[in-house]
Amino acid sequence: MKIALISDIHGNLEALEAVFAHIDEQGDVEEVICLGDVVGYGPNPEECADLLSLRCKTTLLGNHDHALLNAPLGFNRIAAGSIEYTRRIMEPGLLPDGRKQERWDWLKSLPERHMLGKDLLVHASPRDNIFEYILSDDAHYAKEKIFSIMAMIARNVYVGHTHRPGIITEEPRFYTPEEIGMSYEFEPDEKLIINVSSVGQPRDRDPRSCYATVTDDGVTFHRVAYDVEAVIAKFEANENLDSRSGERLREGR
Ligand SMILES: [Fe+2]
């Protein structure tokens, strides 16, 4: 069974549509799971929520989704401003609006974790499902942190949150998708931390959307080009959005 894992959409509809088209072209993906951060930064949080609720078997709660439903604590000014704007357009008001209410209820229903056989799926980390960053550098500078995370999982854990793709092995060592030729074949009894990166705001200096497909045998990373300039134009046309969040998409940072 082949499953697509997408994450960190951040209201980028052009990127999300391109990734779904890429998934559909493969013809053998049986389900799509989203690891969270539907909203935040981008111009189309409502449209992304609608598409994800329609197409994904499961969507998990990310830290930006959590901030929208609660408060953007610990967020920088740009991220917090984006959450406040997103709340103004998405939160149901006093006038009845069925679709807005449905979308809000769907966001409130998102779980923090999901099991796929023995594999754990979370937005951020097994220790703190929504907020903790597992960084590539942790494989070098924070080995105890990685050992503690590995001790909590039965097999692989799939995460997003950092917007940077890659695999951390039990040694621990970190590999980018390029270093493993975009695919990795699982060894028996091995545990891995696998970051599927981001559809809507990759930060590894490659502006193309990133996601992963998983089978019993291994994981494959995919990069998908989309119309970045169309999204940047939406940022420029909307005074409520921060244009720097648009410009970073061009460089993938
Ligand atoms: Fe994110």
Looking at residue 130, which CATH number applies to its domain?
3.60.21.10
Q: Which domain holds residue 86?
A: 2-251
Distance 11 CA to ligand 1 centre (A): 10
- Per the CB < 8 A criterion, the answer to whether 82 and 63 are in contact is no
Distance 77 CA to ligand 1 centre (A): 15
Provide mean pLDDT across the span 92-109.
92
Q: Give backbone dihedrals phi and psi of 180, rounded to 5 degrees, phi first.
A: -110, 15
Distances (CA, A) of 63 to 45, 122, 154: 14, 11, 24
pLDDT of residue 27: 98
Domain count, the chain: 1
pLDDT of residue 141: 98
Residue 96 pLDDT exceeds 90: no
Q: pLDDT for 179-193, tens place per residue?
A: 999 999 999 999 999
Distance 241 CA to ligand 1 centre (A): 17
Confidence of residue 95 (pLDDT cuts 50, 70, 90): confident
Distance 218 CA to ligand 1 centre (A): 24
Residue 232 pLDDT exceeds 90: yes
Q: pLDDT for 120-152, tens place per residue?
A: 999 999 999 999 999 999 999 999 999 999 999
Average pLDDT along the chain = 97
Q: pLDDT for 63-77, tens place per residue?
A: 999 999 999 999 999
Confidence of residue 93 (pLDDT cuts 50, 70, 90): confident
Distance 197 CA to ligand 1 centre (A): 9
Distance 94 CA to ligand 1 centre (A): 30
SS3 199: coil
pLDDT of residue 97: 82
Distances (CA, A) of 172 to 98, 101, 130, 156, 242: 49, 45, 23, 14, 38
Confidence of residue 94 (pLDDT cuts 50, 70, 90): confident
Provide mean pLDDT across the span 222-231.
98
Distance 95 CA to ligand 1 centre (A): 31
Flag whether the pTM goes above 0.95: yes
Residue 165 pLDDT exceeds 90: yes
pLDDT of residue 166: 98
- Which residues on adjacent β-strands are paired with residue 58? 33
Residue 170 pLDDT exceeds 90: yes
Distance 57 CA to ligand 1 centre (A): 20
Kindly give the pairing relationship between strand 119-122 and strand 113-116. antiparallel
Q: Considering the chain, what percentage of its residues have pLDDT values greater than 90? A: 98
Q: pLDDT for 31-58, tens place per residue?
A: 999 999 999 999 999 999 999 999 999 9
Q: pLDDT for 203-224, tens place per residue?
A: 999 999 999 999 999 999 999 9
